[in-house]
Amino acid sequence: MHIDILTLFPEMFEGVLNTSIMKRAQDREAFSYQYVNFREFTVNKHNKVDDYPYGGGAGLVLTPQPVFDAVNHIKANVSNKPRVILMCPQGEPFSQEKAEELSEEEHLVFICGHYEGYDERIRKELVTDEISIGDYVLTGGELGAMVVMDSVVRLLPGVLGNEQSAPEDSFSNGLLEHPHYTRPADFRGEKVPEVLLSGNHAKIDEWRHYQSLRRTYERRPDLLTNRVLSEKEQKWINEWKNR
């Protein structure tokens, strides 16, 4: 996978992209990236990328010309058709399902805006996906792009040390992840559940499923709204309801 990042502040990405899993992914040639500072594509003498909104109002709006030219420059140098992602509070809420979808792509382009917003023609003509990481507003799209990139890149083949790690993550199967324990078996009087020490993998799997469903039921019941429950899952939920 290759990722192009349209940003006015490429230095913001350095720590994230050159540390931990993201660095490992590059070392294993799972993905590559490049920064595209769209200020370099401006045609006005002051290199401005923003202007006052028509109709008045507070703040400044990103002008279309430098963003259009930057994206077209990227497209002119590749044979595939990239997914162009606009980081935007108005976008589709980001999810594990979306991360899995994007991880199947060969080429992603992230547009990270600043100021009050984007000229609407950027949204209408260039963008294939609008993504929001939550119902709040950030200074710019860079932090959101980092979140999405990290979530996507870790799903690429060969990036995680254990290939089972990603499928067992929270939300990957529609449920929150089960509790985890490690050594010591007894820490300050709090003991690891006996089933995890039993070596009985069938019972361990059932315990994890039970705990995963219970945690979801207690913390994120909205995730169960459209889930087709098995007979066993429905039985467990009925037990919790009747307590």
Is 137 annotated in a binding site? The answer is yes
Q: In the chain, where are the structural domains located?
A: 2-153, 186-241
Is 136 annotated in a binding site? The answer is yes
pLDDT score recorded for residue 54? 94
Q: Residue 181 in contact with residue 192, Cβ under 8 Å?
A: yes
Tokens of 80: 């595939």
pLDDT values of the chain reduced to their tens digit, one per residue, 243 residues = 999 999 999 999 999 999 999 999 999 999 999 999 999 999 999 999 999 999 998 889 999 999 999 999 999 999 899 999 999 999 999 999 999 999 999 999 999 988 778 999 999 999 999 999 999 999 999 999 999 999 999 999 999 976 656 666 667 788 999 999 999 999 999 999 999 999 999 999 999 999 999 999 999 999 999 999 999 999 999 999 998
Is 5 annotated in a binding site? The answer is no
List 169, 177, 208, 233, catalytic entry = 169
Tokens of 109: 């382009």
If phi > 0 it is left, if psi is from -120 to 50 it is alpha, else beta; for residue 58 that is beta
Is 134 annotated in a binding site? The answer is yes
CATH class of 2-153: alpha beta
Tokens of 18: 């050159």
Q: Is the pTM of this model over 0.75?
A: yes
163 given a catalytic annotation: no
Cα(225)–Cα(215) distance, rounded to whole angstroms? 15
Q: Per DSSP, what are the bridge partners of residue 36?
A: 6
154 given a catalytic annotation: yes
List 105, 116, 150, 233, catalytic entry = 116
194 given a catalytic annotation: no
Amino acid at 193: P
Please name which of 147, 155, 178, 142 lies closest in space to residue 97, comparing C-alpha atoms. Answer: 155
pLDDT score recorded for residue 23? 96
pLDDT score recorded for residue 173? 84
- The pairing of strands 50-51 and 61-62 is antiparallel
Catalogue the E-assigned strands of the chain: 2-6, 32-36, 50-51, 61-62, 83-93, 107-111, 117-118, 129-132, 186-187, 190-191
What is the CATH T-level fold of the domain 186-241, as seen in this structure? Trp Operon Repressor; Chain A (1.10.1270)
Tokens of 58: 């507070």
pLDDT score recorded for residue 72? 97
DSSP 165-208: TTTTSTTTTSSPPPP---S-SEETTEEPPHHHHS--HHHHHHHH
Tokens of 206: 């059932």
